Chains A and B, each alone.
Chain A
Amino acid sequence: MSDPVPSVIDHPGRAASAAPPAPGRSSRLSDRLLAVAFTSPALLLLLAMSVFPLLWALYLSFTDYSATRGGPAAFVGLENYTAILTSAQVRLRALTTLIYVVGAVALQTVLGFSIAYLISRRTHGRGLLTTLFLVPMMLSPVVVGLFWRFMLDAQFGVINSMLGSLGLGQVEWLTRQRTALISLIVVDTWQWTPFIMLIALAGLTAVPKYLYEAASIDRASEWFRFRTITLPLVWPLLLIAVLFRAIEAFRLFDLVYILTSGGPGVSTETLSFHVYKVAFLGFNTGTASAYGILMVVIVIVLTQLYLRYLNKLKED
């Protein structure tokens, strides 16, 4: 005898889940089993490709393991972490990374928001302009690095050629301490300003029109409308874009590798580039793992603080 179908459905969700299996489906294949069967491949993949490597790196970070030397990994406690946190070399790279992150993200935010603001005020050709501005973001950083390397070449590059035709002198973009880091910031800004612009544009488009209409009736100035309507409404979205960009900029590797190789000397070596050297020049896998873990922890802590600020902003 089959189970009776409930005559009164007081909760649709509950009723749906309480319904018996459809005719023809094996009675052994319950909802739970089916759900596990469908999600387990993705879960296993996640465990194998993300969770396990992270835990494995955590384990290696407490050892002196070297991938090329092989052999059993000897437990060294917190020595790798102590060495990294007390290293003058690491502090120097951290400072370079900080200058780079602050410089690049600030420039991208100002430029990205400005471009988005200007585009949002246009009625014609907005879609085409947005698409054109997005092109740099779609290119591989390695490709971007290579063609900027040619363009910034002091002898044969197009930038110095243009400066020369304007009667200005040659600039050693990639081989001087100050200009090399500025060049990195400029190239990263060229590529990633469109990302900030895109997010800001989404925010600007979502600002209700009636607020501006009300402000117009009150004869509010352009600056007053921007300061009291546009910016406060777009700000939380912009901060999320800044968060994404800051995380990306923090782990910058490819542009440094292609454009400057960390030079001149080590003046443009970021933390990620340094980890690469520790991991693959000396194959000090244990130290490199600790270095990587510390970088992840820093990003997580800063992100949490940032998100709390963002939530507080929303509540206010």
Chain B
Amino acid sequence: MRYPQRTGRLYVPRRKARLATAAVLVATTLAACGGGQDGGAEAGAPKAPATIPELTKDPLTLSFIWFDWPPAHALEDFANAEYAKERSNVTVKVNTVPNANWHDAMFTQFAARKTDFDIPILDSQHIGEAVTNGNILDITDFVQKNIDVKAYNPYLLAAYGQFPQAETGKRDENAKLYGLPLLGDTWTMIYRKDLIGDKPPQTWDEMISVAEKCQADNPGVSGLAFHQANGSDAAAVTYNTVNGVYGGNLWDPKTRKIDGVLNDAAGQEAMEVLVNKMKPLTAKGSGNWFIDEVNAAVAQGKACIAFNWIAASGGLLDPKQSTLGTTREQILDKLGFATLPSQKTNLVPLGGMGMHVSAYSAKANQAEALNFMKWFERPDIQKKWAAAGGVPARTDALESPEFLNAGPFNKVYADSVPRMRDMWNVPEYARLVDIENTNVNAALNGAKQPKAALDDIAREQQGVLDSSGRKGGGGL
């Protein structure tokens, strides 16, 4: 019997080993290629049934995905308390991620064609990307059969569900719907009644001069506090708001033109106002502030006038988080909430999000998600959601005492609804908003001149829209 003569070194025929390795790699590559092609066949949003299929009686967890902020926790508590009364086998779980990861957390799962959530809560501007990629269900037929569309302000229904994007303030009744409103939102002006008086400034210019005087009269208190960070959509929303108020436009949606529209005279004036008049009235080092930092400045009495999303303002009335008073009433003696001042126009930013159904969820979960959405949009539930701290979208709920009495800023929202304007709802949104965020942030922090920053935004955003069909090298 013969044994190979070896000296401790493993004898593996090299050629065979190489062939085996190559075979494994080729097989894996082919398998991966196959997967990609299957995914491609699913392009375009699949349709949800018009009628809700039979619901399961087995225990089921209905999962949402949202970013971590108070409304997310309020929604989970509210849904488990109220929805469970009708569907006792269902548990609602609202998974949260940091705001900066929100888009990535949803779209990386969409990219894998498998999601651990059933209801993604998309920002209104994310709808285009999700619809184009076939990530969420087309619920047009479902809405027609189950939802009273006349009960809503048409623009709210359009902003949180329609694609292609609606014209500001309107809804195209022939357009398809991919979502229903979950939480309405806009900016509120938060002002110190004890420092600037009970009457809020009515125009943007007046607001700036009042803030200037307040800052001069109160050392240690800055005149203004607003979003300036380069993450999420922070600095971009700030510029877009000032742009709207000074009569500017973000783009011409019909011709997809940004360069020459955003940086026209009105756009330049808005950037000048933001960088040269508003920024000097903010606290030193506030160039990376977002929702929490603005709230902290208000709660600690460090700002005369601040701007923040209404849905994130509830904590300002909590005496445990504030130095302005030991009771809610004491805090409200010092803090006032008002709609944004107007200037050349009275536009305000549209915030809030809609509910959508993941195309990759199990059929039973999709059916449950549709049932939840139908339940959530009922008039009685919308009023309960308002009382629980949510911002509803149905007009009857918005006008109800349950909503208007639930918070001092709720009337601000109700009054702001007809004044809302959204950003671009296109598949390229994530890149457009990043370009705007980084350039506005650069201008606010002295890294770029205002005019140069605005021109760069217009040029780079135009480049993104123009190169959407480009082969290779995209995304730089």
Comparing A109-117, A119-127, A172-180, A232-240, the segment that makes contact with chain B is: A172-180
Hey, what's the 0/1 contact readout for B1-22 against A, CB within 8 Å counting as 1?
1011111101110000000010
Measured CA separation A11–B8 after assembly (Å) = 11
Q: Does B40 contact A (CB under 8 A)?
A: yes
| In the complex with contacts A35-B10, A76-B472, A261-B231, A71-B43 CB distance below 8 A | yes
Measured CA separation A277–B302 after assembly (Å) = 34
With a cutoff of 8 Å between Cβ atoms, the chain A residues found around residue B444 in the complex are 264
- Contact call B288/A174, Cβ cutoff below 8 A: yes
- Contact call A266/B231, Cβ cutoff below 8 A: no
Listed by A's residue number, 29 A-B pairs whose Cβ atoms lie within 8 Å are A17-B6, A19-B3, A32-B10, A36-B12, A47-B24, A48-B28, A52-B25, A68-B107, A68-B135, A70-B134, A74-B471, A77-B472, A83-B476, A89-B476, A154-B285, A154-B286, A156-B296, A172-B284, A173-B285, A260-B288, A261-B230, A263-B229, A263-B445, A267-B447, A278-B475, A281-B103, A281-B430, A282-B430, A283-B475
| In the complex with contacts A3-B1, A36-B12, A55-B29, A265-B472 CB distance below 8 A | no
Chain B count of residues within 8 A CB distance of the other chain: 68
Known: A67-B111, A265-B438, A266-B438. 18 other contacts (CB 8 A): A17-B5, A35-B10, A52-B28, A55-B29, A68-B111, A69-B43, A70-B133, A154-B284, A155-B285, A160-B285, A174-B285, A176-B445, A177-B445, A280-B103, A282-B430, A282-B475, A284-B476, A287-B475
Closest 7 CB pairs between A and B? A154-B285, A83-B473, A265-B442, A284-B475, A79-B472, A71-B40, A175-B287
- Contact call B441/A264, Cβ cutoff below 8 A: yes
Measured CA separation A82–B444 after assembly (Å) = 33
- Contact call B29/A59, Cβ cutoff below 8 A: yes
Partner of A262, one of B4, B43, B438, B471: B438
Q: Does B37 contact A (CB under 8 A)?
A: yes
| In the complex with contacts A264-B287, A281-B431, A287-B475, A71-B39 CB distance below 8 A | yes
With a cutoff of 8 Å between Cβ atoms, the chain A residues found around residue B167 in the complex are none
Measured CA separation A216–B108 after assembly (Å) = 65
Q: Does B272 contact A (CB under 8 A)?
A: no
- Contact call B135/A284, Cβ cutoff below 8 A: no
Q: Does A101 contact B (CB under 8 A)?
A: no
- Give the interface SS of chain A, mostly helix, strand, loop or mixed: loop
With a cutoff of 8 Å between Cβ atoms, the chain B residues found around residue A14 in the complex are 5-7
With a cutoff of 8 Å between Cβ atoms, the chain B residues found around residue A59 in the complex are 29
For window 54-93 of B, CB contacts with A under 8 Å fall at none
With a cutoff of 8 Å between Cβ atoms, the chain B residues found around residue A156 in the complex are 296
Partner of A72, one of B37, B133, B471: B37
Q: Does B466 contact A (CB under 8 A)?
A: no
- Contact call B472/A286, Cβ cutoff below 8 A: yes
Hey, what's the 0/1 contact readout for B157-193 against A, CB within 8 Å counting as 1?
0000000000000000000000000000000000000
- Contact call B21/A47, Cβ cutoff below 8 A: yes
Measured CA separation A116–B381 after assembly (Å) = 67
With a cutoff of 8 Å between Cβ atoms, the chain A residues found around residue B135 in the complex are 68
| In the complex with contacts A76-B471, A177-B445, A284-B474, A263-B434 CB distance below 8 A | no
Task: Give the shortest distance, in Å, between A181 (CB) and chain B (any CB).
Answer: 11
- Contact call B474/A64, Cβ cutoff below 8 A: yes
Q: Does A311 contact B (CB under 8 A)?
A: no
With a cutoff of 8 Å between Cβ atoms, the chain B residues found around residue A83 in the complex are 472-473, 476
With a cutoff of 8 Å between Cβ atoms, the chain B residues found around residue A282 in the complex are 428, 430-431, 464, 474-475
Task: Give the shortest distance, in Å, between B24 (CB) and chain A (any CB).
Answer: 6
With a cutoff of 8 Å between Cβ atoms, the chain A residues found around residue B285 in the complex are 153-155, 160, 170, 172-175
- Contact call A177/B133, Cβ cutoff below 8 A: no
- Contact call A84/B43, Cβ cutoff below 8 A: no
A residues contacting B by CB (< 8 A) are 3, 11, 13-14, 16-20, 32, 35-36, 44, 47-48, 51-52, 55-56, 59, 64-65, 67-74, 76-77, 79-80, 82-84, 87, 89-90, 153-156, 160, 170, 172-177, 257, 260-267, 277-284, 286-288
With a cutoff of 8 Å between Cβ atoms, the chain A residues found around residue B297 in the complex are 155
- Contact call B29/A56, Cβ cutoff below 8 A: yes
Measured CA separation A278–B37 after assembly (Å) = 22
For window 24-49 of B, CB contacts with A under 8 Å fall at 24-25, 28-29, 32, 36-37, 39-40, 42-43
Closest residue of chain B to A153, judged by CB?
B285
- Contact call A280/B107, Cβ cutoff below 8 A: yes
Partner of A264, one of B21, B25, B431, B442: B442
Partner of B441, one of A51, A52, A56, A263: A263
Q: Does B439 contact A (CB under 8 A)?
A: yes
- Contact call B111/A287, Cβ cutoff below 8 A: no
For window 142-166 of B, CB contacts with A under 8 Å fall at none
- Contact call B8/A13, Cβ cutoff below 8 A: yes
With a cutoff of 8 Å between Cβ atoms, the chain B residues found around residue A70 in the complex are 36, 39-40, 42-43, 113, 133-134
- Contact call A64/B442, Cβ cutoff below 8 A: no
With a cutoff of 8 Å between Cβ atoms, the chain B residues found around residue A264 in the complex are 230, 287, 441-442, 444-447
With a cutoff of 8 Å between Cβ atoms, the chain A residues found around residue B37 in the complex are 71-72
Measured CA separation A173–B296 after assembly (Å) = 19
With a cutoff of 8 Å between Cβ atoms, the chain B residues found around residue A280 in the complex are 103-104, 107-108
With a cutoff of 8 Å between Cβ atoms, the chain B residues found around residue A160 in the complex are 285
Measured CA separation A251–B438 after assembly (Å) = 21
With a cutoff of 8 Å between Cβ atoms, the chain A residues found around residue B441 in the complex are 263-265
Closest residue of chain B to A276, judged by CB?
B104
Measured CA separation A72–B382 after assembly (Å) = 44
Q: Does B110 contact A (CB under 8 A)?
A: yes
Question: Which of A90, A175, A278: most chain B Cβ within 10 A?
Answer: A175
Partner of A277, one of B1, B284, B434, B443: B434
Q: Does B448 contact A (CB under 8 A)?
A: yes
Measured CA separation A214–B437 after assembly (Å) = 65
- Contact call B111/A278, Cβ cutoff below 8 A: no
Closest residue of chain A to B473, judged by CB?
A83
Partner of B25, one of A47, A67, A172: A47
Q: Does B208 contact A (CB under 8 A)?
A: no
Partner of A265, one of B32, B439, B471, B476: B439
With a cutoff of 8 Å between Cβ atoms, the chain A residues found around residue B3 in the complex are 17-20
Q: Does B100 contact A (CB under 8 A)?
A: yes
For window 413-445 of B, CB contacts with A under 8 Å fall at 428, 430-431, 434, 438-439, 441-445
Task: Give the shortest distance, in Å, between A47 (CB) and chain B (any CB).
Answer: 6
| In the complex with contacts A20-B1, A80-B473, A263-B288 CB distance below 8 A | yes
Task: Give the shortest distance, in Å, between B119 (CB) and chain A (any CB).
Answer: 19
With a cutoff of 8 Å between Cβ atoms, the chain B residues found around residue A257 in the complex are 100
- Contact call B133/A64, Cβ cutoff below 8 A: no
- Contact call B100/A261, Cβ cutoff below 8 A: yes
- Contact call A283/B434, Cβ cutoff below 8 A: no
Measured CA separation A261–B229 after assembly (Å) = 9
